[in-house]
Amino acid sequence: MDLWGIWESFLDIVYPMDVRCLVCKEKRQDTLSHGVCRMCEESLPFIEPPSCPKCGKMMLADDTLCSDCARADHAFHKGLSVFEYGTEVKDLIYRYKYRGEKYLSNPMIHWMTRCLESCDWDFDVIVPVPLHPIRERQRGFNQADLLARGLSRNTGIPLMDKSLIRIRNTPQQARLSGHERRRNLMGAFRIRESGKGPGKRPRAFEGRTVLLVDDVYTTGNTADQCSRVLLGAGAGRVYIITLAIGSSL
């Protein structure tokens, strides 16, 4: 190695190589520990107060429910989300779910963990919103499960990803109207039965406070349907955290 080579390897130790940002894919010197450059981090639409005290949607004023929550009697206790669901975040979620960019779960889990640290929720199990097995096979993975796994790792709270299941392969919610969404999900979820015998009601969640995990929250219909099933199985309370939530402004 000549002198120049020695000098270059010395520089590599002192100034580590630029790291490619997971969001914009550019090589940046200021990439943060969760793999996102400062510019991306600062430009992403993080939810900021005031927000709806029930579902977490960004609002114009404090202490009032958003129009969705004012109408709906949600079965979940409270919801939180990291981002507003705009073009940028939509694209990020699309890359994560359909383009095989599963590594995007790393920054997503980081942001969701930070979001959980900012609130005073107490929960004792983490449950991902399940996909129907056929859909999961097509996609290759359950996007909510991967996020829930990371949250369980970061918080030390156990994951329960086998008990709540999806028994109907329903059309995608995004393509349906509000009324159709509600009908679409009726009876879509249930608790996996363990043990046999008549009258044996599965009480897998007896006395548990559950943190439900999903990628996107729109009207809260999925969260409600899952919550009803969990409450029916004995859960005391259900919280929901998602990466992105629709806007109400």
Token look-up 């709270």 returns: 157
- Three-state SS for 195-216 is CCCCCCCCCCCCCCEEEEEEEE
Taking each helix axis from N to C end, the angle separating 105-117 and 143-155, rounded to the nearest 10 degrees, works out to: 50
> Rule CB under 5 A: which residues touch Zn ion?
21, 23-24, 37, 40, 52, 54-55, 57, 66, 69
Q: Kindly tell me which of 59 and 164 has the beta carbon lying closer to Zn ion.
A: 59
The tokens of 75 are what?
A: 């079965």
Q: Kindly tell me which of 59 and 125 has the beta carbon lying closer to Zn ion.
A: 59
Greatest C-alpha distance within the chain: 81
Q: Kindly tell me which of 131 and 226 has the beta carbon lying closer to Zn ion.
A: 226
Token look-up 């004012």 returns: 70
Minimum distance, C-beta of residue 23 to Zn ion, in the bound complex (Å): 5
Minimum distance, C-beta of residue 9 to Zn ion, in the bound complex (Å): 27
Minimum distance, C-beta of residue 4 to Zn ion, in the bound complex (Å): 31
Q: Kindly tell me which of 8 and 26 has the beta carbon lying closer to Zn ion.
A: 26
Q: Kindly tell me which of 52 and 127 has the beta carbon lying closer to Zn ion.
A: 52
Backbone angles phi, psi at 42, to 5 degrees: -80, -25
Taking each helix axis from N to C end, the angle separating 221-232 and 178-185, rounded to the nearest 10 degrees, works out to: 30
Minimum distance, C-beta of residue 46 to Zn ion, in the bound complex (Å): 15
| CA atoms of 73 and 210, how far apart (whole Å) | 19
Minimum distance, C-beta of residue 180 to Zn ion, in the bound complex (Å): 21
